[in-house]
Chains A and B, each alone.
Chain A
């Protein structure tokens, strides 16, 4: 480990430096991240950072580690994930009867969790692919971590279809491979399309994420290599946590951590030499993957929505489901991005310079927009349920969801789930109409939490309230989750957090080169980027 933390060195160097004010700039605009003047654009990197500083900050997170909070955090989340794995083991040993499913409600928390997690991933693809195609420069601050969340969320999602089949040793039959029983999957079933859609999505998202990291792996490799050559790399040291009244325990391992870094990051960097030919191919591949991912992000959640909408169950069959699910997925995904990155901004040194208040404000606006979009879809569903003249469709909405059972004899026992969904998804993001609210990280974080809860409830409402009352009252049954249901879901939350904590510790959390490209130094029209004069207006 290098004796001086590069990030710390930078902080000291920059201590006392004020953000550089450009010529003709008024002084009372704070750090500039919240400029609303149409004549100028807010900077995407604050603190007067140079392009070298960006490298130092991002690599510092891996080289020095995130701080003392990390170990307790990952121990907790890994324990929770472990509980989830135990629940899955218990489920497989015992059978799906350990869940609260019954004859009427055959899908409940399992598919709710599946759709919830698949949705979380969509923000990553939206940021990395669609915002890339739309040339939204601010995406560079969040795309890497959002893409990581995509991968981890799809992993969590993939667990549920696998374990919900009961006889898990037959799960391989979902793949269209010839087998000795001559049983083929039903190609007319949306459940099979799901397998294709989700696995394609997972593959492309992983490639996109990994490919983006290659130059950053090379940077980490080269820095470790340089320190080894300079002879400033220390031996790797294992230390017990600091305890009161105890001597500090620890010993050196016979290997330098930079040696490990040089090898592991070097392996991951796939021989990247940063030649212009490499960059050229990298940019082309990036664009192609963005182009492939964009229809994928729509297709995955559209096909997930087909799981419901192709049926004729009242409450499930409605034509707006595909775009409505996609909007909801992006909504839920952005909420999760904010939920994790707002605390990360506080915990990691100097992250606020790269992930500014402006970025948070933009994402809050996206929450407002997508939240209003799902609100639009809810209202369309409700209106058309009435307008269709289909009595069953309307009654699913009115009496299984909206009207509480304490207001009407036929009212919905699950009214609280419906109103949680409306309150969290449609009403809570409306606070972002006020600028003070969408520039306050605490408020954004709270709304993001509400939205995450609300989006889980949205899937619960769609799945359980539509199923629990069939056409004959004799078939009506309530669903109550068992402790296995609950702990399995909590376990996936733990798994997701564990994976994300590992990502923050060992992988480059920001795309170094892409951030540099959106700085003034990367702009050929800017004097800092090498322009002869301020030629913004002419050519």
Chain B
């Protein structure tokens, strides 16, 4: 345990804390939600979530387990992304010693603290996969050359063991960082900030590896033929992007209920939106680099994955994703007025959250019908027209548009549970880290441009 020399005496620091606490913006009705607030909303979310999950199960029985499990899994990975992204972002904030982020950091912490619990939603997927011998994760039941080659990594016991390891790392990091922050609320001990910084230093490489392999295991392996070194970075881009969008949504909601006046100001929105903007571009950069290199090199084992996600109806989805995840938000968030307007940025954040869910669906869902249809279209000796017919014939066996209610049910189900837990957490205590040593700077944050 490193000990540091204090630069100012405890007494002087105590005075500073008192000074901050006496600030008129720090009155309780500005930085706390009343007892039981948002619990109605949380209950509605939980109810919707439960109903959605039941409908998903019904869908699984009625349409097919693979469809239901794919929708559920995509939704869980979409809900897990902001939690892991928030954990990564609070560690980055701590290491960079950023000031502006202090007044929004608590919301990131709420998300991060949820990470291990949302991760438990992967258990149903794992259980079903094990009992059905590989529905969505085709490698579980597969034999053949490639499956055998990958067996040292892709085998059930190791897969589960890795899951447990990821859970432990995420659990320890999230509880340690958010726990220290909550403890600082009570004790005002400024050295907890140094502790959080130290944890973040080793936490970032640990979480980076966890995130990469988690994304390999639970996303890339839906098609075990496919591989991409970029995959971990791609999921990270989605994580950071969605975390920023959700926090933006929550702070907009809090200000709509009359909280955080003068604490999360347009200046903070401005910086927050700029960071979101940078992650919109970062996602596009990673998505483009990955797609472009696969397209340009045109090696069958890589292009198959992208081809499936760019054939039939998924082709529209592919372009919609590029437009919705990059082009539109890029243009919409560029004007300064938008970045500094709470309602506009809140609405934009809600839209981006939907796009983020769509991104995960684009990765997972084509495995259900499009994969087989695409394979059928490649049968030797087919003309282009026959190939399209073969594709459509396989797709026609699925429920088509009439099966989408299962996807919607799964998203509502998982997101309902996720938001129910998140809203309860947001209302559970102070909305900002009230005794963070950098709070005075954050309260007076200005962009000067």
Contact = CB atoms under 8 A, between A and B. Distances in A.
Interface stretch (B72-80, B125-133, B284-292, B347-355): B284-292
A539 B443 contact: yes
Interface in B287-330: 289-290, 293-294, 296-299, 301
B375 interface: no
Interface in A308-332: 309-312, 317-323
Contact of A537 (B19, B290, B449): B19
B35 interface: no
Contacts of B449: 283, 287
B194 A302 contact: no
A379 B190 CA distance: 37
A538 B17 CA distance: 11
B158 interface: no
Contacts of A295: 281
B296 A38 contact: no
A376 interface: yes
Contacts of B205: 372, 376
A508 interface: no
A136 interface: yes
14 contacts: A37-B8, A39-B8, A298-B285, A306-B293, A309-B293, A309-B297, A312-B299, A323-B233, A380-B229, A380-B232, A381-B229, A389-B150, A536-B444, A537-B23
Interface string A334-377: 00000000000000000000000000000001000100100011
A390 interface: yes
A381 B190 CA distance: 41
B382 interface: no
B95 to A, nearest CB: 8
Contacts of A377: 229
A130 to B, nearest CB: 9
A387 B449 CA distance: 49
B153 interface: yes
A29 B441 contact: no
B146 A319 contact: no
Interface string B200-223: 010011001100100010000000
Contact of A322 (B2, B13, B197, B285): B285
A232 B198 CA distance: 55
A381 B228 CA distance: 9
**Which 4 pairs from chain A and chain B are nearest by CB?**
A320-B229, A38-B193, A24-B12, A319-B230
Contacts of B20: 537
Interface in A401-431: none
B34 to A, nearest CB: 26
A318 to B, nearest CB: 5
Nearest to A320: B229
Nearest to A294: B278
Given A39-B190, A319-B290, A319-B293, 20 more contacts: A25-B7, A26-B5, A28-B5, A36-B4, A36-B5, A37-B8, A283-B449, A295-B281, A312-B298, A319-B228, A319-B289, A321-B293, A322-B289, A376-B212, A380-B232, A381-B229, A387-B150, A388-B227, A389-B227, A538-B23
B232 A26 contact: no
B16 A39 contact: yes
B80 to A, nearest CB: 21
A379 B213 CA distance: 11
A38 B228 contact: no
Contacts of A365: 95
B447 to A, nearest CB: 9
Contacts of B440: 536-537
B190 A384 contact: no
B438 interface: yes
A40 interface: yes
Contacts of B204: 369
Interface string B411-449: 000000000000000000000000001101101100001
A35 interface: yes
Contacts of A306: 293, 296
Contacts of A246: none
A426 to B, nearest CB: 11
A530 B149 CA distance: 70
A167 interface: no
B228 A384 contact: yes
B193 A25 contact: no
Contacts of A538: 19, 23
A60 interface: no
Contacts of B212: 376, 380
Contacts of A388: 227, 301
B229 A319 contact: yes
Interface centre among A287, A323, A390 (most CB of B within 10 A): A323
A314 to B, nearest CB: 10
Contact of B6 (A26, A309, A321, A387): A26
B294 A319 contact: yes
Given A26-B9, A384-B228, A390 B209 contact: no
A243 interface: no
Contacts of A387: 150, 153, 216, 227
A222 to B, nearest CB: 26
